[in-house]
Amino acid sequence: MKPATAPHADAPIGVFDSGIGGLSVLRALLAELPRERFAYLADNAHAPYGERGDAFVAERARAVLARLASEHTVKALVIACNTATAAAVQLLRAEFAPLPIVGIEPALKPAAALSRSGHVGVLATRGTLQSAKFQALLRGLDGRARFHLQACDGLADAIENEAASARQQRVGALIDQHLSALGTLGCSAGEIDTLVLGCTHYPLVLPQWQARVGGAATLLDPAEAVARQTRRVLAERGLLRHPTEPPAEPLWLTTGTPDALASAVARWLPAVSTI
């Protein structure tokens, strides 16, 4: 499937995730590209992606982009989900060419360059860690650092449902559990001094990570790098919105309950109007 018309500069940028995790990426996009229009789609009805198979995730990604292309004529797509990027980015680029598509992946290369102990912890969904794309990325960095992988089962779902206080406690408990399973944090030999947040949900609760990690390790979130890459891709194609255009409120879309997305936007993007 291809876009019905060629992309044009005033069209919105589509951003999607299985749920609300992509708001961490949208936050960076709004800071980098304040004049752009955005259409954010949360595929809540089919979340979480991280514990699903590649075929399921690829089919959902195809359906989401088809909707954004046909109903909102997006000029580009940002896949604000590591699992969906790993499962579907190549497929979508082939099927929806020439639409620019920017994906996200765990920041392994920056982490390897930053680490002094040579030990990097990667916290991500099981789907991301088991994907062929992630494994190829890992192989490409062989010898650059030792990567300790931790599949954070249940964490993205817990963050997705963090409204109630009991679930807030659940998020903290899961962070503790997964950090403990990962290994010892610190700067000494054999200790992990750099942590990659490999799911877009995780930076939404960054203060909880920071409280538990303290100064023992550096936390990396690739959202700002994705925003910069989106700017580069649009600029190369002459698709940046004119700098005199006024900022526009994002268009909020969901396959699930609108109230859940509205609550998440109010909580994690307080400067942006809610639904």
Q: Active-site residue among 199, 220, 226, 260?
A: 199
How far is 48 from 28, CA to CA, in rounded Å? 22
Q: Which of 61, 81, 88, 175 is catalytic?
A: 81
Taking alpha carbons only, the member of 190, 92, 115, 106 closest to residue 140 is 106
- The whole-angstrom separation of Cα 166 and Cα 72 is 38
Please report the beta strands in 160-204, taking only residues with DSSP state E, as ranges in sequence order.
194-197
Active site residue 199: yes
Nearest to 170, CA basis, from 208, 125, 217, 123? 208
What is the Cα–Cα distance from 116 to 193, expressed in whole angstroms?
7
Cα 221 to Cα 207: distance, rounded to the nearest angstrom? 13
Distance CA 13, CA 74 (A): 5
Quick check: is 187 catalytic?
no
Residues recognised as catalytic: 81, 199
